Amino acid sequence: MAETPLTARIRPGAEPLDLAGYERAGGLEGLHKALQMTPAAVTAAVKDSTLRGRGGAGFLTGLKWSFVPTGPTTPRPRYLVANADEMEPGSFKDRLLLEGDPLQLIEGMVIAGYAVQADVAFLFLRREYTLAAERLRRAIAQAYAGGLLGRDILGSGYALELHLHVSAGRYMCGEETGLLNSLEGRRANPRTKPPFPPVAGLWGKPTLINNVETLCNVPHVLARGAEWFRALGSPRNGGTKLYGVSGKVKRPGLWELPMGTTVGELLDRAGGMRDGLRFRGCLPGGASTDFLTDAHLGVHLDFDEVPKAGSRLGTGTMIVLDDRTCPVGMLENLEHFFAQESCGLCTPCWSGLHWCERILTALEAGEGRPQDLQVLEFQTRFNAPGHTFCALAPGAVEPLQSALKYYRDDFERHIRERRCPWR
Amino acid sequence: MLTSEERAEIEAEAGHYPTRKALCIEALEVVQRHRGWVSDDALRDVAALLGMTPDELDGVATFYNLVFRKPVGRHVALFCDSVSCWIMGANRLREHLCQRLGVAPGGTTSDGRFTLLPVVCLGACDHAPAMMVDGDLHLDLDPAVDPAKVDAILERYP
Ligand SMILES: Cc1cc2nc3c(=O)[nH]c(=O)nc-3n(C[C@H](O)[C@H](O)[C@H](O)COP(=O)(O)O)c2cc1C
Ligand code: SF4
Ligand code: FES
């Protein structure tokens, strides 16, 4: 049986463990160990574990932590933010961790806070996660009462305040600098980088931002060691991963599996396609990743191997396209989302994504023209990385550019037959 | 005028942030929780409380999907219109809801009972299509699979 540290304490359909139960089930071991180490040694252990950011970009977590200046003359307060905005369509992994084991996240936050010597932590939660909010509030209160938060944490002398911030809904709040603006009470437009948040974040102070799943891994790295953690995953991709599958498979769901599980193995977990349906492809890690096809069933789902196949691991929650679902319609839905959520700051994004959506709507309505595909292709280049302020637009055109490659015939049929062949 | 209860709830968050302005999103939420939506008057009062101009606060309020600047019904039904739900029948769910409630997305029923709105992925993609009513998550709602299920859920919100 492969190990499942992240989900071992989560009991489906039941309330999460309280602090006493959490501790009996092995919780707090990582925090106790961390508090006996120097902050730099904690960061070094996390770096050594090859834990990489589960928010989608896969940045080496310990390396990011090391960017936070912590010397005696550096600015304070220092901030830590747990990114629990999870609004990427097709992603449903952080919700399980938030609802199922909130103390695990809090423990991870305290360890991360200690490593970068943070004074104040925010847990940035999207408003629709109401059950998570209720359980987090309870867990935070228990953590304060149990001495895990507040002054002199577990007798170590280290102090951390933790506040839950419930957002008002916008995909851009998940983008880390948009999140910072939102926490400051502004519109969630992104900020220029550099400076990067570890140097100048909330109110200009050093701010470490990590994804929920990233932080939930941290207690286990400390409790069991970097070497153990590395051995759970694939090369340079330590640990397990919460992988999800949605779409017309037999058993959609979420599983904690070794990092580097293949596309085919994950589809098997989901029971394969529903009877009578054929797998045509998938977005391996949420809405803003490129399609993989049945030529890619052997691809290992980690931060190094998926890019070699032309896509990204993203959030690790796969959206499956079957042969009775129209790829053009799917793209229309995706680009509608991205156009709606564009923050409006830069032209390629706010103008281009709406344009893409309109063309896709026209194709679906049987009003497509042959030159439309060139416009769509132009838009995928126009919104490529480096042309826009943040990564929303490049992410938005990833599924589009790969759909134009793999499902070209379907786009052309819409134009030729002047209708959607799936309707 | 903000009620003393609203003001107290807003001020309860004040210690979390170094600036007054940072309170504004939670302050709007407090007002909305009590009144259902954020009127121009309420917006002005919140702005005054936090030392912002009404325009500045409105710029923030209108940026966020869940700040309602128009009146809504007693219950707000948010149906997910994102990709996994779309694959699994979100359009059928939307049409069913529109037909049962007699409104288009964005609309409020004439008896003021429901406002129907689309929402971004509810993080329940393995149980698509999904919908949230007043903060309660409802799953596996394809009317083609179980047409009575959605109706039974709506009944729970008089
Ligand atoms: C448009 C956009 C939305 C994002 N949404 C999220 C999100 O909801 N949750 C998240 O953890 N990261 C999100 N990210 C990534 C964050 O910017 C950031 O990289 C991440 O939180 C860093 O944490 P990690 O290093 O632990 O992955 C988003 C990025 C972009 C461009
Ligand atoms: S890419 Fe889009 S979302 Fe990002 S800053 Fe530009 S307009 Fe805003
Ligand atoms: S796409 Fe509807 S819940 Fe995720």
Q: Is A258 in the pocket of ligand 1 (CB under 6 A)?
A: no
Query: Per-residue pLDDT tens for A183-192?
Result: 999 999 999 9
Q: Which two tokens stand for residue A75?
A: 């600015």
Q: Do B126 and A254 touch (CB under 8 A)?
A: yes
Instruction: Kindly state the average pLDDT of the residues A294-305.
Output: 98
Strands B131-133 and A317-322: unpaired
Question: What mean pLDDT is reported for chain A?
Answer: 97
| DSSP single-letter state for residue A46 | H
Query: Which pLDDT does position A2 carry in this prediction?
Result: 84
Residues 72-131 on A with a CB inside 8 Å of B are 86-92, 94-95, 122, 127-131
Tens-binned pLDDT, residue by residue, of chain B (158 aa): 999 999 999 999 999 999 999 999 999 999 999 999 999 999 999 999 999 999 999 999 999 999 999 999 999 999 999 999 999 999 999 999 999 999 999 999 999 999 999 999 999 999 999 999 999 999 999 999 998 999 999 999 99
Taking Cα atoms as reference points, which of A344, A85, A64, A39 lies closest to residue A196?
A: A64
The HSE-up count of residue A223 (CA atoms within 13 Å, CB side) is 18
Taking Cα atoms as reference points, which of A393, A408, A320 lies closest to residue A351?
A: A393
pLDDT of residue A1 exceeding 80: no
Instruction: Pick from A315, A333, A334 the residue to mutate for testing the B interface (most B CBs within 10 Å).
Output: A333
A54 neighbors A241 (Cβ within 8 angstroms): yes
The complex's ipTM works out to 0.98
pLDDT of residue A373 exceeding 80: yes
Q: Ligand 1 pocket test: which of A88, A171, A303 has the largest number of ligand atoms within 8 Å of its C-beta?
A: A88
DSSP B64-125: STT--SS---SEEEEEE-SHHHHHHTHHHHHHHHHHHHT--TT-B-TTS-EEEEEES--S-G
Closest residue in B to A336 (Cα–Cα): B82
* Distance from C-alpha of A231 to C-alpha of A238, rounded to nearest angstrom: 7
Q: Ligand 2 pocket test: which of A170, A180, A345, A387 has the largest number of ligand atoms within 8 Å of its C-beta?
A: A345
Q: Is B125 in the pocket of ligand 3 (CB under 6 A)?
A: yes
B48 neighbors B6 (Cβ within 8 angstroms): no
Residue B76 phi/psi, 5-degree rounding, is: -115, 120
